[in-house]
């Protein structure tokens, strides 16, 4: 049973921890600018916030955490900033892989491999391979990811299967489409958090967040702590998830 179907069957009332929390980690640059630091320092502090978020997710019993680490639109940023971000990704894997593995964190990466240098791709594959048997937390890293590109690529793959006779047009359903997305096998997010006070999804998990509860925090990402995750989850618990139907007294 899918996440949305399970909740709808129970009347839509949220009475447990979210199974999947997704985070748009926004505000590194503005955090740095407000303190007179270079943008790179904001990104470095952002990596520390990622580590705090992972520890908090484990402590709170959240099975899946997805973080938006690098957008496919971020390639338009200055080359120096891109190089800094790529370097941080490499250092994160090299320095923290052993600890993540010891905590039984399984790493998954979604997004395009286009433009990503081979050294980083090799490190990503090593991280996925090393942690593949872990079960405590699925850490999904959206890297070089854009939701529109993901949806277009999925449609293209299914169209190619139809063209080769491997499937019929009538075989293309919501379920088969979901099964061809980068996130196949990952439950849709129950809760999406965005920091920095911005109120938009920025091309992140557009298909998957059709019925996700959204929480926007008026803090910059480097300030994110265990308490902020708990705050967002408390807000989530006050929501009634309807999935297009009626819940509670509305249905009576």
Burial of 173 (0-12, 13-18, 19+ CB in 10 A): exposed
Active-site position among 3, 26, 144, 182: 26
Which residues neighbour 19 within 8 Å (Cβ) at sequence distance 6 or greater? 3, 62, 63, 64, 187, 190
Active-site position among 74, 101, 134, 203: 74
Cα–Cα distance measured from residue 140 to residue 30, given in angstroms and rounded to the nearest whole number = 25
Strand partners, 138: 64, 106
Match 């379920």 to its residue by tokens: 175
Alpha carbons within 13 angstroms on the beta-carbon side of residue 194 total: 15
H or E segment at 68?
strand 64-71
- Give catalytic status of residue 26 as yes or no: yes
CB 119 within 8 A of CB 90: yes
Cα–Cα distance measured from residue 61 to residue 108, given in angstroms and rounded to the nearest whole number = 18
Rg (CA), the chain: 19
CB 193 within 8 A of CB 24: yes
Look up residue 23 and give its two tokens. Answer: 């985070």
Cα–Cα distance measured from residue 181 to residue 236, given in angstroms and rounded to the nearest whole number = 26
Look up residue 164 and give its two tokens. Answer: 């080769």
- Give catalytic status of residue 3 as yes or no: no
Cite the active site residues. 26, 74
């Amino acid at each position: 049973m899918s996440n949305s179907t399970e909740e709808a069957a129970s009347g839509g009332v949220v009475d447990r921890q979210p199974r999947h929390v997704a985070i748009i980690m926004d505000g590194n640059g503005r955090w740095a600018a407000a303190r007179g630091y270079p943008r790179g320092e904001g990104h470095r502090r952002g990596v520390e916030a990622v580590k705090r978020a992972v520890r908090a997710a484990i402590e709170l019993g959240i099975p899946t955490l997805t973080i938006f680490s690098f957008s496919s639109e971020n390639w338009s940023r200055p080359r120096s900033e891109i190089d800094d971000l790529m370097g941080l990704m490499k250092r994160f894997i090299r320095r923290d892989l052993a600890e993540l593995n010891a905590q039984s964190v399984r790493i998954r990466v979604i997004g395009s491999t286009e433009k990503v240098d081979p050294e980083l791709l090799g490190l990503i594959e090593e991280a996925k391979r090393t942690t593949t048997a872990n079960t405590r937390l699925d850490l999904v890293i959206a890297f070089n990811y854009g939701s529109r590109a993901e949806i277009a690529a999925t449609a293209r793959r299914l169209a190619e299967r139809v063209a080769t006779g491997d499937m019929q047009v009538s075989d293309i359903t919501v379920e088969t489409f979901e099964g061809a997305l980068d996130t196949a096998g990952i439950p849709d997010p129950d809760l999406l958090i965005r920091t920095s006070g911005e109120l938009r999804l920025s091309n992140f998990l557009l298909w998957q967040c059709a019925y996700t509860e959204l929480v926007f925090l008026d803090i910059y990402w480097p300030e994110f702590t265990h308490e902020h995750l708990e705050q967002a989850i408390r807000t989530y618990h006050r929501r009634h998830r309807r999935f297009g139907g009626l819940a509670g007294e509305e249905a009576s």
